[in-house]
Amino acid sequence: MNNIRKYFTVLSVLIALILISSCKKSFLEPQPLSFYAPENVLINQEGLQAVLDNALSSLRDELCTDQSPFCTNIKYSDAGVDGSTDKSTPWQDLINQMLPDGVNNHNAYTKIGWYWDNSYQIIKDCNTVISRIDGAKFTSDAAKNTMLGSAYFLRAYRYYAKTLQYGDVPLILEELKEPRVDFYSTTMESIWTKMIKDLEFAVQNVPEANMVNKGQVTKAACKHLLAKYYLLEGRFDDAIDLTSEIIDGGLHHLMTTRFGSDKNIATKDVIWDLFRAENKSIAENTEGLLLTIDRYGMDGNTSGTSSMRNLVPNYGQTGIIKTPDGANGMSDKAGVEIGLVETYGRGVARVRPTWYTMHSVWTLNGINDTLDYRHRTDNGNWMTMEQLVYNNPSLKGTNVWYGQPLQLYSSTGTILCLDTIRAWIQWPHYKIWIPDPDRVQPRGGPGDWYVYRLAETYLLRAEAYVWKGEYQKAADDINTVRQRANAQYLYTATDLQNQKIGAVLDERNRELYFEELRKVELTRIAIIYARTGIACYNGKTYSMDNLSEDNFYYDRVNEISDFYNKNVRTPYGNYFTCAPYNIFWPIPSYAINSNTSGVINQNEGYPGTGKNVTPLIYNGE
Amino acid sequence: MKKHFSCWVYAIPPLKKLISELLITCFIIVISASNAFALLPDNSSTAVQPGDELQQLQVTGIVTDENGSPMPGVNVLVEGTTTGINTDINGKFSITIPSGDAVLLFSFIGYTTQRVPVTGKSVIDISLALSMATLNEVVVIGYGTAKKADLTGAITQIKTETLKDYSPSSVSDLLRTSVPGLNVGYSTSAKGNSSLLIRGQTTLTAGSSPLIVLDGVIFNGDLSDINPDDIDRLDVMKDASSAAVYGSRATNGVIAITTKRGTGDKPTITFNTSVGIATAANRVQPYNAESFITWRSDMFKSVFRATVPSTLWSPFDDPRTIDQQYLNDWLAYHSTNEGNMVNAWLAGLRLTGTEIDNYNAGNTIDWEDIIYQNGKRQDYNISLSGKKNDFSYYWSLGYMTNEALTKGDEFSTIRSRINLEGNATKFLKVGINAQFSYRDESSVPANNGQYMNLTPYSTYLADDGITLRLYPNDDIQASHPLLERTYRERERQYFTLFPKVYSILTLPLGITYTMNFTTQLGFYHNYIHDSSDHPSWGLFGGSATRDNRLTRGWQIDNIFNWNHTFADVHQLDVTMLVNAEKNRYNSDGMDNRYFSPNDVLGYHDMSTGTLPVLSTSDQVETADALMARVNYGFKSKYLLTLSVRRDGSSLFGYSNPRAFFPAVALGWVATEESFLQSDVLTYLKVRASWGRNGNRNIANYAALSRIATGKALTSDQSGVASTIPTLVITSMENRNLKWEQTEAFNLGVDFNILNGLVSGSVEAYSMSTSDVLVNRLLPTITGYSRVYANMGEVRNKGLEISLVSRNMKRSNFEWNTNFTFSMNRNEIVSITGEISEVYDNSGNVIGMKEPDDIDNNWFIGQSKDVIWDYKILGTWKVGEETEAATWNQGPGDFKLQDVDGDGLLTNADKQFQGYRDPRFKWTMTNNFSFYKNFEASFVLFSLLGQKSEYALAKHDNHIEDRRNSWDVPYWAPENQLDDFARLRSAPASGVSYSAWFDMSYIRLENIAIAYRVPESILSRTFIGNMKVSFSIRNAALWAPKWKFGDPEDGTRAQRIYTFGLNMTI
């Protein structure tokens, strides 16, 4: 028995030790060590600023990536189309492809889904800042209001594009802390009302551009966006007041004289200087209202803007451009004797500009204005195919065309380019040339980019004057922008009276091609026409009642584009088509399907509208 | 006794209430049981029998087994009466018989019943012979072992000895063909690790690989750290009851690995070696120099067929071969002359300048020789083992080095194991099982992914004649396959140590207390230098990375076991466990680039780069467990297993760290019943089990809201940029996350007909998994795409059959066949549990249904692996142009079914079209032995009913005109196939879909012959045993409907020839 007692004593001590050590309550508590949780970082100014900076850096994703989402706003407008002709997937035949079930966020299809999915992620970031701002520590109330105003601005920036792309959408204004699947669409009009209210706060509280770092939200940017909302609402005088505040505020000026890195290169001009990556955020340059910052060789940069890849023609594909004697004419290989790829980059024409963008918009009163810096070919600001030369190294010494300028037709009239959609286009070299030292074939390296620029502010004010019928003032604002660019023809009040909004849209395309979200702005103007009933230059009036059947967006695209209106066919066999209801993009069916306890309305014209219910009207606060 | 227990219990004040209750309950049951049984008369010593005739005789004796060890529990019966007793613990019996001419029957499960006439003897000592060897095999049941005869669950055992002739090089090689219901994936890499899946997929997003238990301890390491040569046997626990003792992690089944230990007085040195060669098998290949041109020509005919007629002559035909009367037309089309025509033709086929030059010069490259090789394989193992008195030892050292088919796909490892066990005192046994491994995965393989892209008219070197050409045909679609291998220097090594030290304390009353303490240590480093000599890496001055990772973990198991037989007929085995574990992972990484002045120091000096980036990650994971199990057997005829386990884990730490997992199992050896005695059906056992197990196989911290850090840039007023931090909440938290639980029923039958002529077992199961861990889809509106949640239900049902037959047994020839069959059916019962309204096309509610998760391909009522896609009805034929044109299609394009006839292809047109996973799996092994010393065997392995997509059948890749492609059939007007589209086909209105092909196959998995050198020869040498073997793995394949090389891997599948030598000294 003694022995037994001994064993049990030993045993019980052992067990006791084990149980004490293993069953402490804290033993099973999770220990997150290497990542932040909301409770330990989103508690002060620094933490929330980092969230805001994440949201702000999304502007790079939108504007400066391969097949950047913003390109879709050019492709589905009067300014350009999708230029990929080597496959069937790109959305070109909008009637058959722009559908709720389609692949909507993919380089080979379209990126419109980015504006559905990713912009909600950015709205979530803004909502995180907005919802947590009262619980966080700030150095001052001013600092707090700056951040709140900045978050309001960015959220309003996202809802602006979203409502003008997708119409009525779910409105989320708070950080969500648990899964929710019970969303309903909210009317775009009531979303605008809310955004205007937020922006009015932002305009009061966000500092001027000279008080904040470049890349941060500025007071002028808030005013600029608010002016666009005012236009939507038909508040033209308010829009004129706001834009005038920016234009006359003394801080922002159009750049009219040579400056920056290349200012001593005599053949260049101020427009060239304005778009050099290294000039966009220097102190001298006050034209930018809002920028997004990206630099080569720095931690925190992107892999590049891909600006050349998106817009330069696909000239280097074997056999696509032939010499007049039938030989393969071009190479985009690096290191060849005539190194075109090092000078212009490798492009795949993700965006194919329309004839309007390349030719007709530059022809005023019958004259093709090649002195306009934005369309100047003698110094390479604007590039045409004829400025390139046959550079295929195999031609050297064997073919007389080596080194000779390209031509589209042979002397016998044979067309020498097998794919004029993708490989025979013009492009604004001054705007998209960004050095790309990490790539053998440059495609657009990291570089700063304008989000809003004062030139657009002038054109917004011009637009407001047009809506109001004050044509001389409108002409003056357009001409200010034109004079800076050395444009030869100046608009008269009569021109404006005749062309009305058409003149503004033309100048926007000259000044803001590959900068503005063309589709969004067209839709905005279409909505102003429909809400106000103002007569359009094409003689029509529009109404909100049948927007998806009859609208200015479709009429404009149909009037201008030489693709959608002619049902052009790509070498691959896709047709270009579009329909009036394409004014709004289809709500993705996955968004509707995963929202199991609520109803997100499908836009009229697309399959799946049967489940629609009356949208919510936001009237909170 | 009770007093002691009470003292013991109350002596531990800090016990948590639950634990103490559990322990007390168990102990009280034990104690009361022991007291109760102690009151019963002891049959073994004083058998009180009815009858009082004077002729009664007393017979005594001892029953031993084939090794001479006493056998307790043997049934001794007087034939024709009900008089009988069991032998006692020492195998002794004493029985009163009615008369001297009575006959005694000695019976025991698994042994041949012996009939012994007494004929006046008073002492009968007999030895019983095995009838069914397998029934006495010891099987691992988790925290203990049991005899197969006493099993109540579905456990399959594999003895590695039987697989030796195939020279297995990994644990998965051991498992692949042996166990019905265990699916082992194929690996074609040199390392050879494969995925493991027991029965069906029970979960939606959590992991589903089984738990590995190595020598009784949960093993979290890499399977390749275990040397297959060290393994004695593997036990695969498939049903809920057998796995339940591992509760929380047992949903996916358990594979228990037992390593070898020393036996036999004499020290034994074993030397096993194998050398082999891996060769290409069933590989799909790209177009060669000749067919490449034809293919391109056909491609352009297809692309331009609408605008360029190809009757009479085609501009894509070789101008030297077309009818000369059309030559002028041909030249005019290309606007060229006869001097330039070949170049113009090739440019029209989009050959690059380099390719045209090579074509003209007659230079071609066969990339096969540059990317692939015959892989050499070597495996050497030596071990020393033995047992001296109370001390057993086993030590091994193994070195293996394998090459796969892809050049530079190399793997080498050194593994060593020490298993020691000795008796410290009479009541204390101590031991250690330790495993060390070193793995080298440094080699940088050739990029075999480029094989398909590389064209035969490429150029190997750049213009400088030294550097590899970045794009051998000067198009970015095909990069040089040896770039990384040439310009990347890598050191990637793993060192792991996995020692278990244990002590077994023998306590009175047959109680043992075992304590295992196991540590796991892993050191990993991965250093990479990407040299600036590389044609594009030079642009950023080369780059280098150093990653170091340290894995530390400990586990402690305290196991109490009480094994006792009461009154000879009540066998009781009680096991209890207290366990805790903690694992930590720490990793540090650094990257740099733009090295200055140059990057020759590579990763050895990271500081000379100018863009340093740091990263670190630390993780901790803890768990604990309590478990109790009772095995009860009555006369080895009626068997019962009850177990309960409570688990806790930090993965669910906030709200639901703990969960209970109970299980029960019953067994009935029917042939023990007198009314079922039969000469035909020698043995029949029926088993049934039910249990609940858990799954915690999710990412650490999945329940927590997580903030990801990033970096962005800002600029000051003068334009000078600096880096700023960014934060983003990437996952929603779910503090209510809990264990996924699977409830499973298993019904099993073991049988043996005609004394082992045919034996086998059949298992049927049904499993239902609830609170499934789902990475749930959220509307992207929330700003999040997914959140981890417990929802939904998945069901699995299946059937497994395993048969062994002794086909022939002659003196010089023996032939046995093993056959296994399994099938599993999976069904998603529920995903979110939220029911919503279903509408018809005009918006009317027509019912309620739980919505499918289309994005994940999860459908209510369908299998997880179901294929939901547009249905290909074949191709449009020549003559169907008009109808095809309504879909913007033409002849040779796939015709997709528009189910609802609305003229659009939407989700409503997708259909269920079969399954991705095999519907049936079977294997058949035939073993032959002849002339005593020769053995031969072959294994057939078959998966049936699975489908896989093969994208190339659609021929819709738009960049094929810039590279090469696989040489597979395509539609052409003169060859109108139905399952392959025309070249550069395009789906109607840009929808995306897949072309599905049946992947069923039968593989001649292994053939082996072996020769055992006869003792008569060896007796004159120092060698004890010697065996040589030769085997071919993946010897042949029959896949009638799959046309793209090996169904498991069409580009890297290998056939391995191995020569093996096993020797014992």
Residue-wise pLDDT for B542-584, tens only, equals: 999 999 999 999 999 999 999 888 888 898 999 999 999 999 9
For residue B332, the model assigns a pLDDT of 83
Peptide bond into B597 cis (omega under 30): yes
pLDDT for A344 equals: 96
What average pLDDT score do residues B81-88 get? 80
Find residues 4-23 of chain A whose CB sits inside 8 Å of chain B. Answer: 4-5, 7-8, 10-12, 14-16, 18-23
C-alpha–C-alpha distance, residues B131 and B110, integer Å: 5
B625 burial type by CB count under 10 A (0-12 exposed, 13-18 middle, 19+ buried): buried
Q: Which of B456, B54, B110 is nearest to B292 (CA)?
A: B456
- Measured between beta carbons, the chain B residues lying within 8 angstroms of A177 are 732-733
Whole-angstrom Cα distance, residue A552 to residue A530? 8
Exposed/middle/buried for B490, CB within 10 Å: 0-12, 13-18, 19+? Answer: middle
Chain A residue with CA closest to B537: the answer is A438
The top-scoring range by mean pLDDT among A70-74, B116-120, B245-249 is: A70-74
| Band of pLDDT at residue A112, cut at 50, 70 and 90 | very high
B14 interface with A at CB cutoff 8 Å: yes
Residue written as token pair 């198009």: B475
pLDDT (mean) for B624-628: 91
Report the alpha-carbon angle A213-A214-A216, nearest 5: 75
Chain A residues with beta carbon closer than 8 angstroms to that of B329:
none
For residue B308, pLDDT over 90 is answered with no
Task: Give the pLDDT confidence of A60-104 residue by residue, as tens digits.
Answer: 999 999 999 999 999 999 999 999 987 778 999 999 889 998 889
Q: What integer is the mean pLDDT of B1016-1032?
A: 88
pLDDT in tens, A469-505: 999 999 999 999 999 999 999 999 999 999 999 999 9
Averaged over A384-413, what is the pLDDT?
Answer: 92
Whether the per-residue pLDDT at B94 is higher than 90: the answer is no
**Residue B823: what pLDDT?**
93
DSSP 8-state class, residue A179: -
What lies within 8 Å, CB to CB, of A444 at 6+ separation is A64, A304, A305, A306, A307, A308, A309, A310, A345, A432, A434, A436
Q: Is B112 exposed, middle or buried (0-12, 13-18, 19+ CB in 10 A)?
A: middle
Phi, psi of B708 (to 5 degrees): -95, 140
Chain B residue nearest residue A117, CA to CA: B780
* Tokens 């207390």, residue located: B513
What the block records as the tokens of B373 is 């090789």
Distances, alpha carbon A229 to alpha carbons A504, A519, B480, in Å: 17, 16, 53
Q: What's the burial of A1, exposed, middle or buried (CB within 10 Å: 0-12/13-18/19+)? A: exposed
Q: How far apart are CA A340 and CA A113, in angstroms?
A: 34
Residue B278 forms beta bridges with which residues? B375, B1056
pLDDT-derived band at A418 (thresholds 50, 70, 90) equals confident
Predicted confidence at residue B186, as pLDDT, reads: 78
Q: Are A78 and A554 in contact (CB under 8 A)?
A: no
Lowest model confidence (mean pLDDT) among A162-171, A225-234, B39-48, B431-440: B39-48
Q: What percent of chain A has pLDDT over 70?
A: 96
B785: nearest CA in chain A?
A117
Residues from chain A contacting residue B776 (CB–CB below 8 Å): 179
User: Is residue B458 packed enough to be buried (19+ CB in 10 Å), middle (13-18) or exposed (0-12)?
Assistant: buried
Within a 10 A sphere around the Cβ of B597, how many other Cβ atoms? Answer: 7
Instruction: Please indicate if any CB of chain A lies within 8 Å of the CB of B177.
Output: no
CA distance A498 to chain B (A): 41
Å from B808 to nearest chain A CA?
56
Cβ pair B1028, B927 in contact under 8 A? no
Burial class of B944 by CB neighbour count within 10 A (0 to 12, 13 to 18, 19+): middle
Q: What is the mean pLDDT of residues B873-888?
A: 90
Place B8 in a pLDDT band, splitting at 50, 70 and 90. very low
Compute the mean pLDDT over every residue in chain A, rounded to the nearest whole number: 93
Of the listed ranges B268-282, B518-532, B644-658, B1030-1044, the least confidently predicted one is B644-658
Q: Is A55 helix (H, G, I), strand (E, B) or coil?
A: helix
pLDDT, tens digit, for every residue of B671-729? 888 888 777 888 899 999 999 988 877 778 888 888 999 999 999 999 999 999 999 99
What CA–CA distance (Å, rounded) separates B784 from B732?
Answer: 7
Q: How far is B649 from B659, CA to CA, in rounded Å?
A: 9
Chain A residues near residue B648 by CB distance under 8 angstroms: 27-28
Lowest average pLDDT, out of A327-341, B136-150, B460-474, B614-628, goes to B136-150
Q: Do B990 and A5 touch (CB under 8 A)?
A: no
To the nearest whole angstrom, how far is the Cα of A378 from the nearest Cα of chain B? Answer: 30
**Looking at residues A524-530, what average pLDDT do you find?**
98
List B residues 504-533 in contact with A (Cβ-Cβ < 8 A): 505, 507-508, 513, 515
How far apart are alpha carbons A195 and A191 in whole angstroms? Answer: 6
Mean pLDDT of the region A371-376: 96
A572 close to B (CB below 8 A): yes
pLDDT above 90 covers a percentage of chain B that reads: 45
Residue B1056: pLDDT over 80? yes
Report CA A331 to chain centroid distance, whole Å.
31
Structure ipTM: 0.92
Structure confidence at residue B921 (pLDDT): 93
Residue B834 has pLDDT above 80, yes or no: no
Q: What is the distance, to the nearest Å, from the Cα of residue A70 to the centroid of all Cα atoms in its chain?
A: 3
What angle do helix axes A219-232 and A518-532 make, rounded to 10 degrees?
40
Neighbouring residues of B307: CB distance < 8 A, sequence distance ≥ 6: none
Other Cβ atoms closer than 10 A to B675: 6
Q: What average pLDDT score do residues B769-782 get?
A: 83
Given a cut of 70, whether residue A5 has pLDDT beyond it is no
Residue A2 clears pLDDT 70, i.e. is over it: no
CA distance B939 to B1002: 10
Residue A337: exposed, middle, or buried by beta-carbon count in 10 A (0-12, 13-18, 19+)? exposed
Would an 8 Å CB–CB cutoff place A400 in contact with chain B?
no
Tokens of residue B167, six digits? 């020279």
Helices A501-512 and A454-468: crossing angle in degrees, nearest 10, is 170
Mean pLDDT of the residues in chain B: 85
Amino acid identity of residue A31, one-letter, is Q
Q: How, if at all, do strands B211-214 and B254-259 pair?
A: parallel
Element (H, E) at B826: strand B813-830
Residue B52's pLDDT band, with cuts at 50, 70 and 90, is: very low
Element (H, E) at B22: helix B17-38
Strand segments (E) across B281-368: none
How many angstroms separate the CA atoms of A270 and A258, rounded?
5
C-beta separation of A324 from B335 below 8 A: yes
Residues B10-24 have a mean pLDDT of 41
d(CA B599, CA B611): 13
Q: In this model, does residue B9 exceed pLDDT 80?
A: no
**What integer pLDDT is reported at residue B172 of this predicted model?**
83
What pTM was estimated for this model as a whole? 0.81
- Partner-chain residue, chosen from A35, A36, A319, that has the shortest CB–CB distance to B348: A319
CB B894 within 8 A of CB B981: yes
Whether the per-residue pLDDT at B131 is higher than 70: the answer is no
| Token pair 């993780």 in the structure block, residue | B619
Give strand pairing partners of B522: B496, B551
Mean pLDDT of B816-825: 93
**Is B327 at the interface with chain A, CB within 8 A?**
no
The number of CA neighbours under 13 Å toward the Cβ of B63 is 29
User: For residues B181 and B187, what is the distance between their CA atoms, to the nearest angstrom?
Assistant: 19
DSSP designation for B1018: H
**What gap in Å lies between CA B467 and CA B444, rounded to an integer?**
18
The answer to whether residue A305 scores a pLDDT higher than 70 is yes
| pLDDT computed for residue B32 by the predictor | 38
Mean pLDDT across B396-415: 93
**What was the pLDDT predicted at A3?**
55
With CB atoms and an 8 Å threshold, state whether A37 touches B619. no
Contacts with A, B 608-647, CB within 8 Å: 610-613, 616-620, 622-624
Q: Which of B624, B649, B780 to mutate to probe the A interface, most A CBs <10 Å?
A: B780
User: Does residue A562 register a pLDDT over 90?
Assistant: yes
| A425-452 average pLDDT score | 95
Counting every residue written for chain A, the total comes to 621
Whether A23 shows a pLDDT value over 70: the answer reads no
pLDDT at position B811 = 81
Paired with A167 in beta bridges are none
Which residue from B340, B706, B842 is facing A35, i.e. has the nearest CB? B706
Q: Which residues lie closer than 8 Å to A427 by C-beta, 6 or more apart?
A: A311, A312, A313, A347, A353, A382, A383
Residue B677: its pLDDT value, please?
78
